[in-house]
Chain A
């Protein structure tokens, strides 16, 4: 049991963070806060990938005399790309939020639903 915990705890941490992000996305009605939740979700996936690339006793993957064991550079490359893409998608989401606010004078889902019902 202790061995299981020691082997898998990095995955559990990222799952915990992922669920925190998912909870914010589902439960909170404010659109800005939903986007923050989405960011937390994304960061948890980054942590999952990076923790998979870690090797015991390894160093950062930069060639230097005296170091033989390196962590896996491949997840790092993937996540570098993912971070930049995540900021791009966040920017698009925020632009949508700004437009929604212009249309409804609100960024809260419940308020927007009420306004839409009134308009019908």
Chain B
């Protein structure tokens, strides 16, 4: 399903339908996250990825008002680059642990401690919440800093222009 949506996005020429397909793509990936046991990630993706991103894209489309994508003549070089990169990546997965393997290295470092101890230490049944807000609180603080920086950047990009336009008039 995800692959079909992605291919449809490649083929589409109308930007509006591309944006709507992008929202559908986010929603499908959110259901995939539920299947993979990541419920917190799923509802963040559904709310933020499918909701806010789509609204942002639509408002940008509304401002620019350009609906059609121009066709490009030479597809060969991009296809070649993509195929070579993909082949290299698939070759590199042969060393990766099997899907769902409980003995994979990722599950044997700090994760067991979070799973066994976080209920007693933090007192929140949801481990994702306790890791996010307590063990990794500084990371979340950094995330807030990143979002704040992005907000300032957006305001500078959109706001300064408005100021210069007022100067001209």
Contact = CB atoms under 8 A, between A and B. Distances in A.
Interface of A: 4, 6-13, 15-24, 26-30, 32-33, 35-37, 39-40, 43, 46-47, 50-56, 58-64, 69-77, 79-81, 83-92, 94-99, 101-102, 106-108, 110-111
B153 A60 contact: no
B64 A88 contact: no
Contacts of B49: 39, 43, 83, 86-87
Interface of B: 2-3, 6-7, 9-10, 15, 18-19, 22, 25-26, 29, 32-33, 36-41, 44-45, 48-49, 52-53, 56-57, 59-61, 63-64, 66, 69-70, 72, 75, 78-79, 81-83, 85-86, 89-90, 93-94, 96-102, 104, 106-107, 110-111, 114-115, 118-119, 125-128, 131-132, 136, 139-140, 143, 146-147, 149-151, 153-154, 157-158, 161
Contact of B93 (A12, A54, A85): A12
Contacts of B19: 32, 36
Contacts of B60: 32, 94, 97-98
A11 B93 contact: yes
Grouping DSSP codes into helix (H, G, I), strand (E, B) and loop, the B interface class, with mixed when no group exceeds half, is helix
